Structure 1
Amino acid sequence: MRRLLVLFVPLLLLAAACTTPAPDRPDRPDPKEAELWRPAPGLAWQWQLSGRLDPTVDVPVYDIDGFDHPASAVADLHRRGRKVICYLSTGAWEEFRPDAAQFPKELLGRSNGWPGERWLDIRRTDLLAPLMAARLDMCRAKGFDAVEPDNMDGYTNRTGFPLTAADQLTYNRLIARLARERGLSVGLKNDLDQIPQLLPDFDFAVDEQCAEYEECELLVPFVQAGKAVFHVEYGLPLTEFCPRSKELGLSSMLKKEDLGAWRRPC
């Protein structure tokens, strides 16, 4: 009898296991996100958005214009051992891009200060999501590893639209999601005030002039999370910002504002 009971209990347990729903489990990570490139703090980089591309700079990371360069240029950088970031403007319209005519006029606001560029009404995600998805598809098709979406802080500027911080959070998270769904890691460009909310959504940061404006400490959460901060200054000498940049763990260099090949790293 005792032996029969011992055999019967496991059978009952087995039956219960087959009929009882499994306890709730955390969602499994998206396989595409699990394979994303996650740049670590301190990586040296090159940022070149103008002039003939110089692929010979001995750094592990390049950031180049997504429209201006073909897949062959990305492949060449990969052969040289580089990871390659696709620069796109996602918060402003540029009249010189091949898809410029696809943007409805109602989306276009004030000039953002650069010739031929105007802020976008980021509240209109119904119109912007497919346009930006197509651009990110281009980055993926060319073989890029990541994307740098620019002009992602319209709510702090005179755009011509009553944009709020909440609008910006919604739009920035949309861009991050669209990028990650395509296997591209994504960087937060400037928008320092929203780092606490957006840190989980972005894989690295790209910043201009945080030393000049005394804001570099705001980027430290990225470093603490094991995420790179790619940083440039334009008007300060290296001796004025490099010591502090190194203390904070930023990947810093001096560039000219045209963002050609010239660079002076910390």
Structure 2
Amino acid sequence: MIRRRAAALLTALVLAGGAAPAYAEIPTGTDVDYQLGGNRSVPDNVGIVVRDREAEPAAGRYNVCYVNGFQTQPGERSLWRKHWKLVLKDHGKPVVDEGWGEWLLDTRTNAKRRQLARIVGRWIDRCATDGFDAVEFDNLDSFTRSHGLLKRSHNLAYAERLVRVAHDAGLDAGQKNLAGYDGTSIGFDFVVAEECGRYHECDAYTDDFGDQVLSIEYRARDFEWACAHVGDLLPVVLRDRDLTPTGVRRWC
């Protein structure tokens, strides 16, 4: 499949008369494991592993580095208090994603997006140094939980910065969720789709990314639906919601 990103790179190459960077597609014909809650053994059927940015990549696999690009990790509040103006606030109080206890980052101005990208960029560079092949940026959809303070356009402008940083570091860049948004338009190479089976929206991702979609499900009935509908095209894994090292793990 010829994708818009590849076409754009080819155009840039022709216009500039130089060599455009090439980014490998994620492997196909193999399974994915989602190990954000802790490392565990990787069986032979799994060729793609997603781990937290502070974890070691899995030897001999295509490794995706998880970075919470749009919200704060619960254990990093002391860091963000040092960058307090970059935390989104409503009437002076941080706006919180109640489901995870995470503060939202303030992407409303170009200056703040630039400063955020410097901080997150250091994490991205570390992912590359540690040997990861790609990075996924979580909470692209934080604007939906922002009390109306963030706009979709704010987050997309910031995401475009992060994609450039990832590519400069030699990493593929992964969109996280936001079904119906064609992230290839700003350079995303693949997408991590959580619960596309539950919400019957897997086609919204494959329409834009083809087989460059990693499908993660947390309920058995949604996993079975995803396997039946897209299991021949995409890697689908069933995990426990806390992604614990000893928790549920099944493949189609």
Q: When the two structures are superposed, what TM-score results if normalisation uses the length of structure 2?
A: 0.80
Distance change (3 Å), C-alpha of 1:103 and 1:146: farther
After TM superposition, what 4+ stretches of structure 1 lie above 4 angstroms from structure 2?
Answer: 28-31
1:232 to 216, 241, 244: 216
Q: What is the alpha-carbon distance in structure 2 between the residues aligned to residue 66 and residue 99 of structure 1?
A: 18
1:175 aligned onto 2:168 = no
1:26 aligned onto 2:10 = no
Q: What is the alpha-carbon distance in structure 2 between the residues aligned to residue 254 and residue 29 of structure 1?
A: 44
Q: What is the alpha-carbon distance in structure 2 between the residues aligned to residue 38 and residue 98 of structure 1?
A: 35
- Could you tell me which amino acid in structure 2 is paired with residue 174 of structure 1? R
Query: How far is the alpha carbon of 1:185 from its aligned partner?
Result: 0.5
2:181 to 166, 175, 194: 194
Conservation of the 8 A alpha-carbon contact between 1:112 and 1:118: yes
> What residue number does 2:249 align with?
263
- Could you tell me which amino acid in structure 1 is paired with residue 72 of structure 2? W
Distance change (3 Å), C-alpha of 1:100 and 1:252: same
- How many aligned residue pairs are there? 227
Conservation of the 8 A alpha-carbon contact between 2:70 and 2:140: yes
- Could you tell me which amino acid in structure 2 is paired with residue 82 of structure 1? R
1:134 to 88, 102, 122: 122
Any stretches of 5+ residues in structure 1 without a counterpart? 1-23
1:96 aligned onto 2:75 = yes
Conservation of the 8 A alpha-carbon contact between 1:93 and 1:119: yes
> What residue number does 1:37 align with?
24
Is the deviation greater in 90-99 or in 255-264?
Answer: 90-99
Q: What is the alpha-carbon distance in structure 2 between the residues aligned to residue 130 and residue 46 of structure 1?
A: 29
Q: What is the alpha-carbon distance in structure 2 between the residues aligned to residue 180 and residue 25 of structure 1?
A: 19
Identity of aligned residues (%): 27
> What secondary structure sits across from 1:50 in the alignment?
coil
> What residue number does 2:51 align with?
64
* Larger radius of gyration between Structure 1 and Structure 2: 1
Conservation of the 8 A alpha-carbon contact between 1:48 and 1:64: yes
Distance change (3 Å), C-alpha of 1:246 and 1:127: same
Give the root-mean-square deviation of aligned CA atoms.
2.4
> What residue number does 1:244 align with?
229
Conservation of the 8 A alpha-carbon contact between 2:128 and 2:169: yes
Distance change (3 Å), C-alpha of 1:83 and 1:41: closer
Q: When the two structures are superposed, what TM-score results if normalisation uses the length of structure 1?
A: 0.76
1:207 aligned onto 2:193 = yes
Query: How far is the alpha carbon of 1:246 from its aligned partner?
Result: 2.3
Query: How far is the alpha carbon of 1:162 from its aligned partner?
Result: 2.1
- Could you tell me which amino acid in structure 2 is paired with residue 212 of structure 1? R
Conservation of the 8 A alpha-carbon contact between 2:32 and 2:48: yes
